[in-house]
A and B are shown apart, each in its own frame.
Chain A
């Protein structure tokens, strides 16, 4: 049974760096073909794909946010970490992580709401 759970601060100030952790179970990020993605959704708006890390440590980023994002994995801890620099109120959103296999995002976490405000 695959599960994922996002954790991190609920409130960050403008210009700060956000660090989110996705802790997962039921799969290994060292298995060929597996990836973990981050997606966000501002209140009342559409989903936005942010970043993806594969089992072989290949990393992919949204072109529009690439300069602000870093994704890493700790296979031994079953965790994927996303950092986003220079946070702004427009980055207020629910942030999700999801499992990727065979070009499908199948299992999602429950999401964590991050508010950017001074």
Chain B
């Protein structure tokens, strides 16, 4: 069974930068996995941020950026705002099916 792994939690200071990663049990993540990133706040539905590795949704602030880093998909938050405190999920494509990561809880402190 395919497993997608994310950091369980990360802490960042306001105005700082943090990078979340998304690894696949099958090996290096490439653009062919079409990485998606989502933000979810308590009691809310997930909100799409990034698709196909690095493409922002029309509503995604420029401080969110997606990339491939060291064989993983990555989401970098620059100039972090208090409202960025949330759970973040990645989603990878496996030739027909998709698999979510376990999520990263980002705390802004």
Q: Do B102 and A104 touch (CB < 8 A)?
A: no
Residues of B at the A interface (CB closer than 8 Å) are 1, 34, 36, 38, 40, 45-48, 51-52, 55, 57, 89, 91, 93, 96-103
Nearest-neighbour CB distance to chain B for A115, whole angstroms, equals: 17
Nearest-neighbour CB distance to chain A for B104, whole angstroms, equals: 10
* Chain B residue at minimal CB-CB distance from A59: B96
* Chain B residue at minimal CB-CB distance from A108: B45
By a CB distance below 8 angstroms, the chain A residues around B57 are 104, 106
A46 and B51 in contact, given A96-B45, A105-B91 (Cβ under 8 angstroms): no
Nearest-neighbour CB distance to chain A for B100, whole angstroms, equals: 4
Q: Do B51 and A49 touch (CB < 8 A)?
A: no
Answer whether residue A74 sits at the interface, using C-beta atoms and an 8 A cutoff: no
Q: Do A49 and B46 touch (CB < 8 A)?
A: no
Nearest-neighbour CB distance to chain A for B64, whole angstroms, equals: 14
Chain A 88-118 per-residue mask, 1 if CB under 8 angstroms from chain B, else 0: 0000000010000011111111110000000
Answer whether residue A80 sits at the interface, using C-beta atoms and an 8 A cutoff: no
A104 to B56 Cα, complex, angstroms: 10
Residues of B contacting A: mostly: strand
Residues of A contacting B: mostly: strand
Answer whether residue A57 sits at the interface, using C-beta atoms and an 8 A cutoff: no
Q: Do A103 and B48 touch (CB < 8 A)?
A: no
* Chain B residue at minimal CB-CB distance from A104: B51
For this complex, 22 residue pairs linking A to B, each with C-beta atoms less than 8 Å apart, are A46-B101, A46-B102, A46-B103, A47-B38, A47-B91, A60-B97, A61-B97, A102-B51, A102-B52, A103-B51, A104-B48, A104-B51, A104-B55, A104-B57, A105-B36, A105-B48, A105-B51, A105-B91, A108-B45, A108-B46, A108-B48, A109-B45
Nearest-neighbour CB distance to chain B for A15, whole angstroms, equals: 25
By a CB distance below 8 angstroms, the chain B residues around A52 are 97-98
Nearest-neighbour CB distance to chain B for A34, whole angstroms, equals: 14
Q: Do B1 and A63 touch (CB < 8 A)?
A: yes
